[in-house]
Amino acid sequence: MPTIHQFHIEGHRLTALALNPGAAGEPIMLLHGVNLSAQFWQIDEVFIRHGPCYALSLPGHYPAAFPPSFRASSLTAELIAQLLTAAIRELVGDRPVTLAGISTGGFAALDIAAHVPAVARRVVSISGFAQGRWIGPLGISQRLARFGPIGRALCKALFRYTGRSRASYRDEIWPNYVVDKAALYAYPQFETLIDNLYPNYQRLDLDQLMHYYVAMPDIDISDLLLRITAPTLVLAGDRDNTVPPAQARLIAARVPNAELSVIEGASHLLFAEKPDEYQHVVGEWLRRTASETRLWEI
């Protein structure tokens, strides 16, 4: 069972799950996407083989929480990097880590590496972005949330409706993020993923969640990507219907030591739509860059 860590940093509550306590190697920090929780990474079959893995909560995502007086205008790239870096330091001290994330977690991994380069030994951005304007259903929710109190009320009502039961969460939310629904439902860990995530989804503070939908379209770290010094894997699907695939090309072009891998016929949930390709690309890159790091240190 994962070990749960909780931190209180400048009024924010953050949490982390140690997925394989006692594992040897360099630490790996795993960052989930918006609307999700750290339990997302309990299905991981790739990173767990390469070192001690910690799944960090994004700020404001249950069981993490913003301070009561927090406002969307305070949610910046700098703050996200600051809070997550502090949590990482609480977990492993000054040791460099592999930062890996999916979607908004992919953004957060890049964000930390750009603001505090010394933290990052390696970076993996999966369906991530540097500019926070989303497309598809998440993009619609962004536009609603930015349309004042009425828009946010409608957005929250939509969240409540689609999350009213496990079945609606499974069948009305997740298929929106793939192009191959049959592959999603055939993914062997799909039901476990839903079981892991749905209880925390029900507990999300929607007022706090709306801060992401209001603030993220104005966040842009593309000019900071040149600061990232760590080897970086940028992984995306060529048919991503949530984050424009052009974001992956932008990131790969601006991060000095980046490799771009685009999986054909996949959308946002690469791990489920194309599990074999996903595991091969990530696993091979982790093995190769671990070897390169050891040679460099010698």
Q: Give the tens place of pLDDT for each residue, 258-286.
A: 999 999 999 999 999 999 999 999 999 99
The predicted pLDDT at position 291 comes to 65
The predicted pLDDT at position 292 comes to 60
The predicted pLDDT at position 44 comes to 87
Cα 3 to Cα 6, 39, 54, 193: the distances in Å are 10, 12, 9, 18
Would you state the structure tokens that stand for residue 287, as one six-digit string? 């093995």
The predicted pLDDT at position 163 comes to 95
The predicted pLDDT at position 2 comes to 81
The residues of the chain scoring below 70 in pLDDT are 291-298
The predicted pLDDT at position 213 comes to 98
Residues 6+ apart with CB under 8 A from 47: 28, 30, 41, 53, 98, 100, 282, 286
Which CATH superfamily includes the segment(s) 3-297?
A: Alpha/Beta hydrolase fold, catalytic domain (3.40.50.1820)
